[in-house]
Amino acid sequence: MQDTSSVHRRVLIVIALLVVSTIAIASVRLYKMDFDFGNILPQRIYSLTVEQEFTGHGMPVELSLFLPQDDHRQRIISENNSSENFVFETYRENENRKGRWSTDKADDEQRVQYSVTLATQALRYEIDKSVTMSEVIDTAPSRYLTATDAIQSSSAEIKKAARRLIPADGTAYSFLKNAFSFVSKLKYKPFKGTTDALTALRLGEASCNGRSRLLVAILQSQGIAARLVGGIVLSSGEKKTSHQWIEARINGTWIPMDATNGHFMEIPHHYLVLYHGDEALLKHTGDIGYNYRFVISRKMVPAQEISEGPQFLGFSHVFRKLGIPFELLKSIIMIPLAALIVVMFRNVIGMHTFGTFLPALMAVAFRSTGIIWGVVGFVSIILIVSLLRHGLSKLQLLHSPQLGVMLTVVIALLLLFAVLGSTYSITGLAKVSLFPMVLVSITAERFSIMEIEEGRMSAWKTMLQTMLVVSMAYLVMRSLSLQVIMLGFPELLLTVAALNIWIGRWVGLRASEWFRFKGLVFPKTTEGAK
Amino acid sequence: MKFFSRHFQFNSSAVLGMNRRNVDMILPRNQRRHFPLANNKLLTKTTLSSHGIAVAPTIATFESFYEIGRMEEYLNGLSEFVVKPANGSGGNGILVISERRGELFRTAGGRLLTRDNLVRHIADIVFGVYSFDKADVAIVEPRLQPNPFFAGLYPYGLSDIRLIVVDNITTLCMLRIPTAESDGKANLHQGAIGIAVDTQTGCTYRAWYRKHEIEHHPENAMPLLQQNVPNWNEIVDAAVATAKVLPLKYLGVDMVVDKSLGPLVLEVNARPGIEIQNVTGKSLLQVIEQNGSC
């Protein structure tokens, strides 16, 4: 028999080493490696899908759309176009980027879909408040100082209105502020086509594009370069409205202003810039029964999912270089945590599960199906395959070939789920086909053997407990904060190992044993008198 | 160091839990490399009998498919026998033949088997169906006849005695009496009765059935308490001798008392369960501490 206390000492030393290493590595990174918390905190990203539909009748059709570009406050993470019957090309037009879908002959109902995932930033601008209007140096293209048909900056009416807004101190800042307030006070009128600057001024009411044109015209009339900005306000849901605001050129910087929503010298997080200038976001060939919509969603993701630069222990960078999806990396780094949850449920709570780490791996699979379809898919496959095994046992097959048959049926079922899921547009169900099939087959085998040897009741009890533990592991894996912590401090894996070692030496009663041995743990006082 | 052993446990010795059984009992006492001595019933039998400990006799062993052809030779004239896998667990793969009529065999459960069925069962064992796909050995043993004391408690199945021997000292003992409900099997989870036996005197003092204390057999009303188990000293001696021979210091010894052969070691278990504490109403931990071996 080995000396128990020397084992305990060894265990404590190993645990201490692991925890100290975790802290040491984290400290080195925090203090020596120019660590930036901004690089690990979760970030909000947006998904935008522009769907365009029309009905063609055999003639050439062309659609165009301004596409987002990377700049100092917005960054494209991924972009995807799906338009089977069209030639899709992107090209530049002034400082803008455009996408064009074209075909020589379009028949019946057609659909093009452009999706983009982006990270954006809210920005607030400051300018030197003492700079006077005449001191403002502009380096902008001359077209941003020139009147157009819709932005009548040379009109006497506009000039007159603008002069009234010139502040006593003559500073550019106060002028901007006055102009902004003036336009903001216009009565809001819901979007009805295009409103030019002069009309907006005369009516005293306008939607976002009228206000913006008027504001641009006022600024231009006093020699400050300004331009329209078109884009989309990224609030979750479906909509058809785009948005326009303006930018004024002050000392070499374009300063954003949205008089419709009251953003003065700032641009909020959820504004997506698509183009600059007085443009139409979408254009299409006429007479095609055209329709479109924007579908927007947002979510929080760990920063590494969207950041680019390499960092110390920056395996996310390495994974990206290898072309391995970030989702996979996230799963991999969270598996030890999920496994720790399983270990706790087994050894501290005393739950029975099929397999030791099956629940952790199923939790990974549940990430794509979601918990409900995951459980439905898993339980129904196990049920069907264990029924099959009862049938197979009548054929008296040897063990391995029988398992082979079961695996085949599992795969057939996974394919069936994929077909059913896609036919009825249930993504969760379709993703059941990504389940780890060998594990599922082996679980079906174990379930079926347990049914025979220990009764249907205990097999289903174990199934229920397995699903419960899978759900817990799933919640842990899905937790954004835990993902952020694990991705930001991967050295915590050492501490996870230390926790496993601690549980591995923990000799306390499992919660279930308090019930199993309740007669011994909570002896009745009368018993002694017997 | 007490941090590990005491944390989270209110009455730390009230019962030996699974975690403590594994960490404090099995891991320091039973080394993995010695497990085959317990897991392989054939190896257990040869080891024990070479040290003069009584075990169930072996009629034949089948180690390969080729040998199964010689089954007739061995079974000629035998009408009652048991076929079991050397590496089976939980009683799986054990076939008890109680009667033979020419080419037909009747199991203790009443099922009729042809000669081919029997050959197939032996082949299954050899191919590892009951031993996680590892090739195994099929053992044929005579069907043991229970001593009248055990037959009196339940005549239609084989009762056994489980002794937990820790550091060569007997700690807790119980009888496992099958019921009709347990299908003649001495398995507590399947509805067999556990009866606590005083290690010193061999006298029964507590009976446990379906998580409750009972005093009589639920099916035939036989009194279960204050009964003296026959050959008790021999039983304890054989169990302790078994523990001394094997390098497993936390050991479950399963024995039977045959009508003519007396106490025999049936098999040993290197990871014996902890349900015996519910049967005896005693904590293994306290008994071991009292014995001064822990």
In the numeric block, which tokens belong to residue B275? 């349900």
> What pLDDT does residue A529 have?
38
Tell me the pLDDT tens digit for each residue of A382-432.
999 989 988 988 887 877 888 899 999 999 999 999 999 988 888 888 888
What is the interface size between A and B, counted as CB pairs within 8 Å? Answer: 81
**Closest alpha carbon to A49 in A205, A239, A248, A247:** A239
Cβ atoms within 10 A of the Cβ of A166, count?
15
Instruction: Scan residues 189-228 of B and list those with Cβ closer than 8 Å to A.
Output: 189
Interface touch A1/B28, C-beta < 8 Å: yes
CA distance A14 to A499: 11
Residue with tokens 């920063």: A303
**A236 phi and psi, to 5 degrees?**
-55, 140
What Cα–Cα distance (Å) separates residue A507 from each residue in A347, A357, B13, B276? 9, 21, 11, 19
- The answer to whether A99 touches A88, Cβ cutoff 8 Å, is yes
Give residues 438 to 497 of A whose Cβ lies within 8 Å of B. Answer: 453-454
Q: Which of B293, B55, B22 shows the shortest CA–CA distance to A513?
A: B22
**What is the residue-level pLDDT of chain A in tens, covering all 530 positions?**
556 788 889 999 999 999 999 999 888 887 876 666 666 778 889 999 999 988 888 888 889 999 999 998 898 988 999 887 889 999 998 889 999 998 888 888 888 999 999 999 899 998 888 888 887 766 677 788 888 888 988 888 889 988 889 888 889 899 999 999 998 888 777 766 788 888 888 888 888 888 899 999 999 998 889 999 999 999 999 998 899 999 999 888 899 999 989 999 999 999 999 999 988 888 888 778 888 999 999 988 877 777 655 555 566 777 777 877 788 888 888 999 999 999 999 999 999 999 888 899 999 989 888 899 999 999 999 999 989 988 988 887 877 888 899 999 999 999 999 999 988 888 888 888 888 888 888 898 889 888 887 788 989 999 999 999 999 999 999 898 898 888 888 899 999 999 999 999 999 999 999 999 988 888 765 444 33
> Looking at the DSSP assignment, which residues form a beta bridge with residue B174?
B162, B196
Contact list, A7 vs chain B (CB under 8 Å): 28
CB contact under 8 A, B17 and A513: yes
Tens-digit pLDDT string for chain B (294 aa): 444 444 444 556 889 999 999 999 999 999 999 999 999 999 999 999 999 999 999 999 999 888 887 877 777 778 889 999 999 877 788 888 988 888 889 988 788 999 888 888 999 899 888 887 688 999 999 999 999 999 888 888 889 999 999 999 999 999 999 888 877 778 888 889 999 999 999 999 999 999 899 999 888 888 999 999 999 999 999 999 999 999 999 999 999 999 999 999 999 999 999 999 999 999 999 999 888 644
Assign B179 to helix, strand or coil: coil
The minimal CB distance from B277 to the residues A9, A453, A517 is found for A517
> Per this entry, what is the length of chain B?
294
Tell which B residues from 266 to 285 touch A, by Cβ distance under 8 Å: 277-278, 281-283
Q: What is the pLDDT of residues A474-529, one digit of tens each?
A: 999 989 889 888 888 889 999 999 999 999 999 999 999 999 998 888 876 544 43
Cβ pair B278:A520 closer than 8 A: yes
Within 10 A of A192 (CB to CB), how many other CB atoms are there? 9
Rounded Cα distance, A64 and A50, in Å: 11
Instruction: State the CB neighbour count (10 A cutoff) for residue A23.
Output: 12
Give the strand pairing for B169-177 and A226-233: unpaired
Count of beta carbons in the 10 Å neighbourhood of residue A419: 12
| Cα nearest neighbour of B117 on chain A | A396
Q: Which amino acid is at A80?
A: N
Q: What sign does the dihedral B120-B121-B123-B127 (CA atoms) show?
A: positive
Cβ distance of B15 and A513 shorter than 8 Å: yes
Whole-model pTM over 0.95: no
- Alpha-carbon distance of A456 to B51, in angstroms, equals 43
What crossing angle do the helices spanning A315-322 and A326-344 adopt, rounded to 10°?
130
Instruction: Check if A350 contacts B (Cβ < 8 Å).
Output: yes
Cα torsion angle, A145, A151, A152, A157, sign: negative
Within 8 A of B182 by CB-CB distance, chain A residues are none
Tokens of B81: 């026998």
Nearest to B19 among A8, A11, A510 (CB): A510
Tokens found for residue A207:
């939607």
Q: What are phi and psi of B197, to 5 degrees?
A: -120, 135
CA nearest B269: which of B282, B287, B251, B246?
B251
Length of chain A measured in residues:
530
Point out the residue among B15, B120, B282 whose CB comes nearest to the CB of A396. B120
Region for A51 from its dihedrals, namely left if φ exceeds 0, alpha if ψ lies in -120 to 50, beta otherwise: beta
CA angle B176, B179, B185 (to 5 degrees): 60
- Nearest-angstrom CA–CA distance, B114 and B97: 12
3-class SS of residue A229: strand
Which positions ≥6 away from B102 have C-beta within 8 Å? Answer: none
